[in-house]
Amino acid sequence: MGLKKSVKYWINKQYYIKELKKDQRFTTEIPSKPVFKEIVFPIYDKPIVTIIIPYYNQQNYTWECLKSIFQNLPDISFEIILVNDNSSEKFDFSFIKNIHIVNNTENIGFLNSVNKAINLANGEYIYLLNNDTIVSKGFLDELYYVFTTYDNVGAVGSKLLNQDGSLQEAGCVFTKDCTISQIVKKEHYYPEVNYIYQVDYCSGCSILFKKHKDNNELNRFDIQFAPAYFEETDLCFDLKYRQGKDIYYTPFSQIVHFNGVSYNAKKEETLTKKQELFAKNLKLFKQKWGIEINKIQAETTDQRLIELCGNKSIIFFYNKLPAYDNNSGELRLTEIIKAYKNLNYHVTLIAPKNRITNSYLEYFQKLGVCTFYEYLPNRDLIKFLRKFSENTAISWFYTADVFTKYYKKISSILKPKILIYDMVDISHLRFQRAMQNNEKNSSLKKAYKNALKNETIASRTADVVIPISKEEGKYMEKFCSNEKMVIISNIHYPKVNTENIPIFDDRSGLLFIGSHHHPNIDSVQFMIDEIMPLVWQTHPEILLNIVGDVNLKITRSHPKVIFHGYVPDVTSQFLNNRIMIAPLRYGAGVKGKIGQAFEYYLPVVTSKIGAEGMELIDNKNVLLAEDAKEFAEKIIQLYTNKNLWKKLQSNSEDSLKPFSKDELFNKIKEIEGKF
């Protein structure tokens, strides 16, 4: 980046950070004289969740809490149990319809009030909510999302904000010697608190868990901790260490908590008395969970987050967030990231100039990936990476350009045990092949030399090199030893059931899918100029559907060629077209479009370049062609021959076996064996 561009970018970033800070701050006030009016909550015969709200006095806060629920009604079914713990200030909430009000005849405290309500609950899940809170949209649905998306979940807690919009808590962990560490001292929009991650416990002021254990006993607070303090911590430890469940925090459930309101509601209790109760229950907690606490060796919060993942961590580096729905290479990277998450790694994704407005950001955050975006005026990436300086085992670089640009800086900050260079494809080979058709193209020659230089440095420097196929692995032996290579191809698996997809007679048209990379542009021009005119001589009714942002680089039009552009969900294209065609004349790597066609049981006509690295057999898995005449003949043959079409379709699943998730997990184990 030139000096002028660097200065312009820096100025733009300062403005962005200023606006980010402004947008993320707000103030929430409780009116001193609220207007009480009737609220009618919906009724469900079988609520999924029971919301339990205990309260003692402070009716204004309780009213605002209930009102905020009504203003942000969950999508899932629920009921509300409001427990009045014998408040000294008399107030009747019966004007709020369709909630269950429990009036304690004596003051029994938060813990016993919750246990009493759990006994009365009809929901499969229990959601504890303090009365001194204001909920926001998605407060309950996002907690439930973690249960329905993640495996083995015991409890999920919310992001808690103070009334000025600052961060109050983003989950809690224990460090060595039973030091309690609430995850705070950050702005709530910082990337390190904006993804789903495991914690030791979450505050009881907003936490979701199942009513019953797997053995059908109730999940309730231990009455030893009555009337309060450490009850939710103890419950989370029980869920984790006795029931074998994991505890999660999600930032997508966001609650404003007026910290100290419920704590100070009982004016008759002195501060000294509360401190004594806290100390008593802390001692009790240590006695009960001493064995588990002593196993915690982490000395910092960041270390503990990785320790909860079995001390397994990996950081991925790329120049942008993977556009998994836009091109096959970045879909492959996304599948690799997901595989490491499924193996319980703590996963971080670094795209240096990423911003909070990125449309792909939430997807990775909800996968449980700590995803960097710019959040400080200066040196934010350096400060962010230093949190992992002693805890990161693997640094994974996607493409040679990214490796050569960042590996020295990353090695000095993180000191990872292993540097991985993920080739994606052999770029210099792709440019070399392109030059055969464009000998006078100086930009291709320059790109070839630059790619060759970077790929040589990356392959010789990295501890592990990841080719995408056996053929490319063999080729790369010119640059590095075979012992340091682990082949990871594209990851594919069936996306539809064959019983539910259209038959041969219900389909029409040809499909090409591709991004705006040079090999795809060349393929589209090859089809329009040379292949399709031969097809249309005898079959003028056949339409060519081109999907993907390749249309950004091709401005021409044709009445029988439809440019659909980027399509977020391509399912209908794969199900309604009769054939996928991929007449690639140059390129490198394994072509994701071919595997994607197999995922939808769509027969393919392609070239040897298109089928490269996939171990496909002509007339069994695909039809192969090279020149325009041969492509036209194979397209017409497959388009009109139902038996041949069904034969190729029936072999689609076998074609995917080398690209399965199981194969990916085996490759990750192979990498783990290298350090």
230-239, 318-327, 531-540: least confidently modelled range: 318-327
Across-strand partners of 371?
349
The CA distances from residue 229 to 234, 278, 627, in Å, are: 9, 6, 76
Superfamily classification of domain 498-659: Glycogen Phosphorylase B; (3.40.50.2000)
Which amino acid appears at position 471 of this protein?
E
Mean pLDDT of 600-629: 93
Contact 395, 420 (CB under 8 A): yes
Helix H or strand E encompassing 49: strand 49-55
pLDDT bracket for residue 423 (50, 70, 90): very high
CATH class of 40-306: alpha beta
Across-strand partners of 50?
79, 126
Condensed to tens digits (0 to 9), the pLDDT of residues 222-244 reads 999 999 899 999 999 999 999 99
Condensed to tens digits (0 to 9), the pLDDT of residues 196-216 reads 999 999 999 999 999 999 999
User: Which of these, 382, 384, 410, 386, lies nearest to 396 by C-alpha position?
Assistant: 410
Answer yes or no: is pLDDT of 264 > 80.
no
Mean pLDDT of 550-567: 87
Condensed to tens digits (0 to 9), the pLDDT of residues 346-381 reads 999 999 999 999 999 999 999 999 999 999 999 899
Q: In percent, how much of the chain has pLDDT > 90?
A: 75
* Residue whose token pair is 């996963």: 347
Which pLDDT score is estimated for 267?
A: 54
Between β-strands 179-182 and 172-175, what pairing exists: parallel, antiparallel or unpaired? antiparallel
Which pLDDT score is estimated for 263?
A: 52
Distance CA 631, CA 318 (A): 37
Answer yes or no: is pLDDT of 516 > 90.
no
User: Domain-by-domain residue ranges, the chain?
Assistant: 40-306, 310-484, 498-659
Mean pLDDT of 631-637: 97
Condensed to tens digits (0 to 9), the pLDDT of residues 18-47 reads 999 888 888 888 888 888 999 999 999 999
Distance CA 663, CA 661 (A): 5
Which pLDDT score is estimated for 371?
A: 98
User: Which of these, 415, 95, 58, 403, lies nearest to 262 by C-alpha position?
Assistant: 58
Distance CA 514, CA 546 (A): 8
Condensed to tens digits (0 to 9), the pLDDT of residues 100-115 reads 999 999 999 999 999 9
Highest mean pLDDT out of 144-158, 419-433, 537-551, 642-656: 144-158
Q: In percent, how much of the chain has pLDDT > 70?
A: 98
The mean pLDDT of the chain is 92
Condensed to tens digits (0 to 9), the pLDDT of residues 435-447 reads 887 777 888 889 8
Contact 544, 512 (CB under 8 A): yes
Condensed to tens digits (0 to 9), the pLDDT of residues 568-594 reads 899 999 999 999 999 999 887 788 899
pLDDT bracket for residue 425 (50, 70, 90): confident
pLDDT bracket for residue 292 (50, 70, 90): very high
Which pLDDT score is estimated for 439?
A: 73
pLDDT bracket for residue 415 (50, 70, 90): confident
Answer yes or no: is pLDDT of 266 > 60.
no
Condensed to tens digits (0 to 9), the pLDDT of residues 464-513 reads 999 998 889 999 999 999 999 999 998 998 989 888 899 999 999 999 99
Condensed to tens digits (0 to 9), the pLDDT of residues 145-182 reads 999 999 999 999 999 999 999 999 999 999 998 888 88
Residue 322, preceding bond cis, omega within 30 degrees? no
Asked whether this chain's domains 40-306 and 310-484 adopt the same fold, the reply is no
CATH class of 310-484: alpha beta
pTM over 0.85: yes
Which pLDDT score is estimated for 316?
A: 97
3-class secondary structure, 30: coil
Answer yes or no: is pLDDT of 268 > 80.
no
Which pLDDT score is estimated for 269?
A: 58
Which pLDDT score is estimated for 174?
A: 95
